Amino acid sequence: MVERQLLVLFGSQTGTAEDTAERIGREAKRRHFQCRVEALDSYDVANLINELLVVFVCATTGQGDPPDNMKMFWRFLFRKNLPPGSLCQLDYAVLGLGDSSYPKFNFVAKKLHKRVLQLGGNPLLPVALGDDQHDLGPDAVVDPWLLALWDKILSLYPLPPGLEIISRDVRLPPKYTLHYLPEDSPHPDGGLLQPTAPRAVPSELHPFAAHMVSNQRVTAESHFQDVRLIEFDITGSGITFSAGDVVMIQPQNCPEDVQQFCQLLRLDPDRRFVLKPTEPGTSLPALLPQPCTIQHLVTHYLDISCVPRRSFFELLSYFSTNELEREKLQEFSSAQGQEELYSYCNRPRRTTLEALWDFPHTTCAIPPEYLLDLIPRIRPRAFSIASSMLAHPDRIQILMAVVQYKTRLSKPRRGLCSTWLASLNPEQGNVRVPLWVKKGGMKFPADPDTPVIMIGPGTGVAPFRAAIQERVAQGRRGNCLFFGCRQNSKDFYCQAEWEELVRRGFLTLFTAFSRDQEEKVYVQHRIQENRRLVWELLSSGNARVYLAG
């Protein structure tokens, strides 16, 4: 009897590919496969030669780049010295998630499919190209492709005698079981985010608790947009960075939302628990302490403000004791109900917490151990670093617009991370924010004589502030900046700094204030007006052009 094992490997940036990989994992369990679901970079790629059956689920980011959690795997797979037949015993399928409005649509999935084929793998199906632009989203491609995949897999690995596919009416066990500790059990000492002596350079698994030094509004109070210049102290972190790099910040939910969530689900925020994996071999969530309080789980881990996905409604339907609510939840999780779900969730940007309010009978029946299957973890947010270590040693500054907008829902939508950061006041005590740094996509020229043309409207100017500070500290003069905003008096970020650099001869500055006159003026108009200078810099100066929005 062939061992029925399936490995699902995902590369995910925003969580969609991970969600799809988990869905395949659940469908595999219903077909009695032993199934592991792992991020590509968490998997020991040297074991791939021993695998018999693998499904890859991968997103494409940026200009055809692999997601962060598959970059090491990607480098290994494209090594020149891998023998051509090394994956000859592997049956595989690749499911891609992309966006056809980008030129390199699903580039990573196509390239992965081709490379595994080159190394001797046997494709079960042509590569699936899920498209965000489709009216029904990627599921329009994913649903029929998965039906075909299971047909193919079950023809190779039939169900064991006497077993049938577990019906969709049956709820699968949770990934983890949750064991409450007795209320009188001793508490470990210390807070959960202590600034520790760093073991290594800070990373997602070991962020640095940076002290917030200042949080200053840089737009006029009368301006509709609240933009902040925020400074963090990273002394002793071991963090280094250069212009163009990115700081990752791990946000948390606001206390009102946490309190509402606990009330809705009838959870005691102070109760402490430990998690145990339901199946051997499943690792525990890396970012949760053990033991943990409900308060910490909901504040720091569960993304209760994200727009819920189809899988959320599918799992929720199993807990429903109310027939009306259950029917609606089943409709939202069916292929036919996707347009309705889009109108309910995605278009108005309804949050998970708001969706739970709409299904009160179901919500109060959710068993706590299913929370980690139901709600994804809070993802870190990326910000361009807006300062240089040469100008501000041991500091990181960011220029951040506070996200707030209206949809048809009565309550304004708010960005989780920007709202949280804006609410922090370093003058009211020791405020710490978990962060780490990642290499950015922008590299500024090493040659000191190469001029740089930077086009940075709005907060897009952030990485150029870092570059200009760095270049000025190195004595480089060929800095040309096109900056655009609405009004000179309201959102001209870093105005005094730019004007001082112009005065000292380090910067050529062109500004476009779109609302300061009758006809709108944007950075492209200023580029056109100064085309002779721009062309001269490009043709005889060999200038580099950088654009950030």
Range of the domain at 501: 452-547
Q: Are residues 260 and 298 in the same domain?
A: yes
pLDDT at 348 over 60: yes
In eight-state DSSP terms, residue 354 is H
In a domain, 195, yes or no: no
Domain count, the chain: 4
Q: Are residues 11 and 90 in the same domain?
A: yes
Average pLDDT score over residue span 446-464: 95
In a domain, 104, yes or no: yes
Tell me what pLDDT residue 47 has.
92
Residue 179: band (very low, low, confident or very high) from pLDDT cuts 50, 70, 90: very high
Q: Are residues 368 and 422 in the same domain?
A: no
In a domain, 174, yes or no: no
Nearest alpha-carbon partner for 461 in 490, 484, 430, 436 = 484
In a domain, 476, yes or no: yes
| CATH number assigned to the domain comprising residue 488 | 3.40.50.80
Tell me what pLDDT residue 195 has.
47
Average pLDDT score over residue span 34-46: 92
Q: Are residues 342 and 478 in the same domain?
A: no
| CATH number assigned to the domain comprising residue 361 | 1.20.990.10
Write out the H or E segment, with its range, that includes residue 78.
none
Average pLDDT score over residue span 21-46: 94
Residue where a domain terminates, one of 321, 355, 374: 374
| CATH number assigned to the domain comprising residue 241 | 2.40.30.10
What percent of the chain clears pLDDT 90, i.e. is strictly above it? Answer: 88
Tell me what pLDDT residue 2 has.
63
Mean pLDDT lowest among 176-185, 449-458, 495-504 = 176-185
In a domain, 194, yes or no: no
pLDDT at 376 over 60: yes
pLDDT at 3 over 80: no
Query: In whole angstroms, what is the distance from residue 93 CA to residue 7 CA?
Result: 11
The pTM is what? 0.91
Task: Tell me the two tokens of residue 217.
Answer: 């509004």
Residue where a domain terminates, one of 156, 171, 189: 156
Q: Are residues 369 and 385 in the same domain?
A: no
Q: Decide: 462 and 386 in contact? Cβ < 8 Å.
A: yes
Higher pLDDT, 336 or 313: 313
Q: Are residues 405 and 338 in the same domain?
A: no
In eight-state DSSP terms, residue 464 is H
pLDDT at 98 over 80: yes
Q: Are residues 105 and 249 in the same domain?
A: no
In eight-state DSSP terms, residue 297 is I
Average pLDDT score over residue span 8-12: 96
pLDDT at 161 over 90: yes
Tell me what pLDDT residue 192 has.
47
Residue 257: band (very low, low, confident or very high) from pLDDT cuts 50, 70, 90: very high
Task: Tell me the two tokens of residue 94.
Answer: 């690749």
In a domain, 247, yes or no: yes
Q: Are residues 386 and 366 in the same domain?
A: no
Q: Are residues 365 and 269 in the same domain?
A: yes
Number of alpha carbons in the 13 Å side-chain half-sphere of residue 20: 30
Residue where a domain terminates, one of 354, 374, 394: 374
Tell me what pLDDT residue 304 has.
98
Query: In whole angstroms, what is the distance from residue 121 CA to residue 88 CA?
Result: 5
In a domain, 164, yes or no: no
Q: Are residues 64 and 152 in the same domain?
A: yes
Q: Are residues 118 and 139 in the same domain?
A: yes
Higher pLDDT, 231 or 168: 231
Nearest alpha-carbon partner for 56 in 99, 22, 19, 92 = 92
Average pLDDT score over residue span 143-166: 95
Average pLDDT score over residue span 107-132: 96
Q: Decide: 8 and 55 in contact? Cβ < 8 Å.
A: yes
Residue 387: band (very low, low, confident or very high) from pLDDT cuts 50, 70, 90: very high
In a domain, 533, yes or no: yes
Query: In whole angstroms, what is the distance from residue 144 CA to residue 147 CA?
Result: 5
On the 0-12 / 13-18 / 19+ scale of CB atoms within 10 A, 4 is buried
pLDDT at 201 over 60: yes
Q: Are residues 275 and 352 in the same domain?
A: yes
Query: In whole angstroms, what is the distance from residue 517 CA to residue 515 CA?
Result: 6
| CATH number assigned to the domain comprising residue 65 | 3.40.50.360
Alpha helices in 34-138 (DSSP H): 71-77, 107-118
Residue 199: band (very low, low, confident or very high) from pLDDT cuts 50, 70, 90: low
Average pLDDT score over residue span 221-243: 96
pLDDT at 190 over 50: no
pLDDT at 254 over 60: yes
